[in-house]
Amino acid sequence: MNYLPLFFDLKGKHALVVGGGDIALRKLRLLKRAGVFVTIVAHHVSDEVRAMATDQEDQVIVGEYHSALVDDKVLVVAATNDNDLHERIHFDAVERNVPVNVVDTPKLCTFIFPAIVDRSPIVIGISSGSESPVLARMLRARLETLIPSGYSRLGQLVGRFRNEVKARFATVNERRRFWESVLEGQIAEKVFSGRDEEAEALLRESIQAADPEHQIGEVYLVGAGPGDPELLTFKALRLMQQADVVFYDRLVSPEVLEMCRRDADLIYVGKKRDDHAVPQEGINALLVEHAKLGKRVVRLKGGDPFIFGRGGEELEELKAHGIPFQVVPGITAASACSTYAGIPLTHRNFAQSVKFVTGQLKNRKEALNFDELVHPNQTVVFYMGLHTLPDLVEGLTSHGKPLQTPVAIVSRGTAPDQKVLTGTLETIVAQQQEAQLPAPALVIVGEVVSLQDKLAWFGDAVIEENQAHALNMAANRLQK
C-alpha cells in the first residue's frame, strides 16, 4: 500500500492554495465542500477562484508566495506552472510537518487527492497512487452509477437513530443484524424511492418492536431483460445483490443469474410450453412462504414482468397475504431483440404504431383478433409465436395482409448466438422449416423488417461484413 487512506475532519481549519487557475479551482471546490477556510495566493486569480472565498476567514492574496504563508495551515496545495516554486513550497511544508500536495508531481506530494464519490455522510475515495488518475476517475464514474444518491439520505437517517438503536439492542451482533435489515430492506427502499417520511416512521416502529428477526420479508418482481446482462437496470442489479432467495424462469440467462448475490438460494421455476417445472399457483405460494419467513425474495423474469410475464397474477397473491413488494421493469424482448436485429419497431416511412401480441393464450381456443393486426403502417410483434407460426401467417393473410409483407424471426435475441431469419408472409414458414431456428424467438411482421439488411449491427455475420467493408475502403484509399 503506497498511501494509507484516511479521512480527516477539516471543518474550520485553514489551508493554503498557491495558484489561481482551473487546477487550483478543482482543489478549492473539494476543500470548501469539506468546510475548510482557504488562503489563496497567486499573481493572477480568476473570477471563479475568487468566488470560492465565501467565508469571512478566507483570503485572496494577489502577489508572491512566501514561506510564512504555510504557518498555522493544516495542509498546502500547489497548483501553478512553476516547477521551481513547487519545489520551494514542498520544502517549506515538509520543514513545518504540514501535508502538501503538488498537483501532477507525485514526488513532491506527501498526500494525494483521491477521486471521490460523495454521498455524505457516505464518502468513497479512490486512488491509483498517482499511477493512473484516469483509471481512478473511470472507476469513480462507474461507482457513481451504481450507488444511488439516496444513500446520502439513508446515511443521514441512520445517523439520527444510532443512539436509539444502541440503547434498544444490548449486543453488537443484535445491532448489526438490525442495521442489516434496515439497510437492505423496506426502509432503505423507501428512502431510495423518495418516501423519506415513511422510511423514518417504519424505522421508529422497527426499533420499538425490537424483534427484527421476525419481521415479514419483501418480494422484488424484477425484469431480467432478454438475456444480455448489460441490459439490466441499476435497480434490478441492486435488488438482485440483496436477495436471500431468487426464483427464476427459463428465459433468464446464466449470465444474468451470475449477477445475483453469491450466497442467495437460486430456485428454478421455469415453464416451457406444456412443461411447467412449478405450476403458477405453486410459484405464487413459494413467494408468499419465503416472504413470511422474513426473507428478501427476488422473482426474476425474462424481459419485463408486466409484458406476458404473469407478474400481475403473482402480485395479486402477494397483496392478498399482505406481503410488501416492488416491481422493477425490464427491457422487454420486443424492444431488445428488434434493436439487436437492426429492425426499428416504428419508422415514420413505414410504421406509426406497434402491437405486442402473445401467440400463446391462457385459453388456447381463444382466437386472436386478426382484424386489428392487419392494419397498414403498423408493426406486429408476436411473443411465443414460433410454434404457431403457420397459424399466425394463415390468420394474417386470410384477413387481408399482403403475402409480400416482410417478416423476421429473431431467435435468442441479444445472445452471442442470435440468429435472424427474414422473408415474407408467403415464404417465412418454409424458411423456418428449413432453418429450424430455436426458441426463444420473436416474430416481427411489418414493412420495418425491410430495413434489417441496412441497419443490422450485432452478431458474427455483421461483424465480418463490417470488417470486410473496412478492408475494402482501406484498399480503395491505397489505390487512390
Q: Which residues are catalytic?
A: 249, 271
Which residues are registered as beta bridge partners of 125?
116
Relative orientation angle of helices 150-168 and 172-183, to the nearest 10 degrees: 150
Residues annotated as binding site?
22-23, 43-44, 226, 302-304, 307, 332-333, 384, 413
For residue 222, give every residue at least 6 positions away whose Cβ sits within 8 Å of its Cβ, in sequence order, or none: 236, 239, 240, 298, 299, 300, 301, 305, 328, 330
Q: Which three cell numbers stand for residue 134?
A: 484516469
For residue 464, give every residue at least 6 positions away whose Cβ sits within 8 Å of its Cβ, in sequence order, or none: none
Residues annotated as binding site for S-adenosyl-L-methionine?
226, 302-304, 307, 332-333, 384, 413
Half-sphere exposure of 467 (CA within 13 A, CB side): 7
Q: Which three cell numbers stand for residue 296?
A: 428478501
Strand boundaries in 286-390, DSSP class E: 296-301, 325-328, 353-358, 378-383
| Distance between CA atoms of residues 443 and 380, nearest Å | 8
Smallest CA-to-CA distance from 342 within 253, 252, 255, 418 is with 418
Whether the ω angle into residue 114 lies within 30 degrees of 0, i.e. cis, is: no
Output b/e per residue, 116-136; b: 16+ Cβ within 10 A: ebebeeeebbbbbebeebeeb
Q: Which three cell numbers stand for residue 378?
A: 403498423
Q: Which three cell numbers stand for residue 225?
A: 431483460
| Distance between CA atoms of residues 276 and 248, nearest Å | 13
